[in-house]
Copies of this chain bind each other. A is one copy, B any other.
């Protein structure tokens, strides 16, 4: 997300790209470690004393991290070089241990794809991904596809068709612009496992009048 999106509450920060990358290299391992902790806390069958001691230790770590923190939320930032970071994002946030995270790439032809590994924290029906997690991954990639990192779009409607259950594990999402006319951009997307598509989606995204 580069400068044209600034109107949406994005913050232009005077931080050098090298410093953004130093901070990412420092914080990503912490988020990854917490993601493992979330998984372990769901699955553990260890004794009461170990669970209580873990709870106390986690609270101590949190208190140390909170000594200095930004107010509110992480927000979406970019610098003058066009380097952007949205570390708290619920789908892709690299510092958000609650995000799967979805790892995305866009192609020059306007399509996008992404990958994620879903585990115990993403379960709905036994052994299957929660339908809402499927929706989260599709909503995110389709919104990015609509905006193409260069214009503001809001999701108007999103229609999801669940073809079959999505087993936990590795999934991929694909999206492309189906049509774009005036302020309306229609994006289609799908989520697949190794056997093929498990869910399809169509989204109507709207470019606000002030962004035309």
- Interface residues of A, Cβ cutoff 8 Å to B: 8-11, 26-27, 29-31, 33-34, 36-38, 40-48, 50-55, 57-59, 61-62, 64-70, 72-76, 86-91, 93, 95-99, 119-127, 129-133, 135-140, 143, 154-162, 165, 168
Contact = CB atoms under 8 A, between A and B. Distances in A.
Contact of A65 (B8, B44, B72, B154): B44
Nearest to A95: B42
A48 B26 contact: yes
A126 B8 CA distance: 8
Question: Sorted from nearest, which 9 A-B pairs have the closest CB atoms?
Answer: A132-B136, A135-B135, A9-B126, A90-B130, A132-B139, A43-B69, A44-B65, A40-B65, A98-B98
A50 B47 CA distance: 29
Given A76-B125, A127-B75, A136-B133, A54 B30 contact: yes
A34 B46 CA distance: 17
A68 B42 contact: no
A188 B198 CA distance: 23
A44 B69 contact: yes
Contacts of A120: 72-74, 88, 96
A34 B45 contact: no
27 contacts: A9-B125, A9-B126, A10-B126, A30-B51, A30-B54, A34-B37, A34-B38, A37-B37, A40-B69, A42-B87, A42-B93, A44-B69, A46-B68, A47-B68, A57-B57, A72-B120, A72-B127, A73-B127, A90-B124, A90-B129, A90-B132, A133-B136, A154-B162, A156-B161, A158-B160, A158-B162, A159-B160
